Structure 1
Amino acid sequence: MSPYVIVVDADVRDLRTADHLLLALAAELALPEGVFGCTHLVRGQRPRVVLSFTGTSAEAVERLTAKGYEVTAGTPDEVGRAVLYPGVSELTGTVTVGQLLSGSAIDLVTVLGAPGEPPPDQRIMTRDHVRPEWRAGELVLTAMPAADGLLVPFEVPDPTPCCADH
């Protein structure tokens, strides 16, 4: 992982838009394998979601700045939500906890309401949307029980917006 980390503030207000922008910018910048792209919630007078990338260069900073994004060095906090990380492209369909841990940058899987870690042969239906979070320097995926003894990531791919039926 490159020591050069940047934060991109595009004045985005929701995670779904931030995810799409993060993936589009990573593709546009042709970031190398093994980089991390995370979203970070910023609270305060101007709530928003900012993006962070590892493995960038001065050229990437120039290109992003030229597009009108506010770009700074460093990370906004230590608790980002990983969207782009080593192994994410392999986390499709149903995989075991062991496959998830050995084939990606995720360090730990926890299950809501359950003590300890799930066994390596426990199956996780990824829904092609696996968003672990940084906690105390580890990338942790929170999962929850689902039908047929499966686990699913806690974060759903297409959440229903609050008050969608109003």
Structure 2
Amino acid sequence: MTAPHHVSGVHSVIGVDAGTASLREADHLAHRLRERLGLPTGTVVCTHLIRTDDRRGTAVSLALPDAGAAEAAWQRLADLADPGLGAALGERAYGSEHAARTAAPVAAEHADRRGGRAVLYPGADRLTGTVTVAEVLATAIDRIVVVGAPAVDGQGPDPATPVVTRDHVRPEWRDGLLTLALVPAVGGTLAPFEVPNPTPCCVDHA
């Protein structure tokens, strides 16, 4: 499904590079930015791996519900006055010139829904403990794929199948759809392909 809260367009997506190295650090950054910027409901925050000649690490992108919300978040971001942080919104840049150059393609990737691993998204807070496939698809997640089990007739897993979330559900943008990869687990259940390491990031932001 394609949910109405999905956003597109470079003018509503902010890229941020704060020098984080690992995905776990980027997850923490996503939560800190939500708290410090007061990100509104409907915001999708993704992490991105950076592999360039002069940067190896991670960055994040913030897809706001509309251009007005993005402008407000941009102003609050500038107010943080963090010298190690760089950001990009459309043709605009803020902070460290090098970091802002890294942040720009990250924002574009998310705006085009070509890539990005979602940490914060509508409904993510409901994906704890064990839920069903139907409950997963009632969030911003558009599609579920089961690794090693091709869909039959284009259909995914049974909506009633239990999903053991481990409190760590990180879908990714694939072909314009927010897609969650699952693997078979004990007792006919499914579980996210990505395992929390060493514990779910959200434990530290409860």
Amino acid at match of 1:13: A
Q: Distance in 2 between matches of 1:4 and 1:60?
A: 15
Partner of 2:147: 112
Moved more, 76-85 or 88-97: 76-85
Match of 2:129 in 1: 93
2:18 counterpart SS class: strand
1:159 Cα deviation from its structure 2 partner: 4.9
Structure 1 portions without partners, runs of 5+: 161-166
Correspondence 1:49 to 2:88: no
Question: Which among 172, 181, 196 is matched to residue 133 of structure 1?
Answer: 172
Amino acid in the other structure paired with 1:51: V
Q: Secondary structure of the equivalent of 1:25?
A: helix
1:94 maps to amino acid: T
Runs of 4+ in 1 over 3 A off after TM superposition: none
Residue 83 of structure 1 pairs with residue 119 of structure 2: yes
Distance 2:116 2:13 in 1: 13
The offset of 1:79, in angstroms, is 0.5
Counterpart contact for 1:40–1:76, Cα < 8 Å? no
- The AA in structure 2 aligned to 1:153 is P
Q: What is the match of residue 67 of structure 1? A: 82
Q: Deviations over 1:26-73 (max 9, x none)?
A: 111111111000001111211121100022323133134x11210111
Question: Sequence identity, in percent?
Answer: 47
* Residues in 2 aligned to 1:80 and 1:127: alpha-carbon distance in whole angstroms: 21
Question: Is 2:37–2:77's contact at 8 Å kept on the other side of the alignment?
Answer: no
Root-mean-square deviation (Å): 1.6
The count of corresponding residues between Structure 1 and Structure 2 is 158
Task: Give 1:76 deviation, angstroms.
Answer: 4.4
Shift of 1:81: 0.2
- 1:38 is paired with a residue whose SS is strand
2: distance between equivalents of 1:5 and 1:60? 14
Out of 25, 50, 56, which is 1:17 matched to? 25
- How many angstroms does 1:93 deviate by? 0.7
Q: Report deviation, 1:148.
A: 1.0
Deviations 1:119-145 (A, max 9, x none): 111110001100000001100000001
Q: Which runs of 5+ in 2 are unaligned?
A: 65-69, 91-106, 200-206
**Amino acid in structure 1 at the alignment position of 2:176:** G
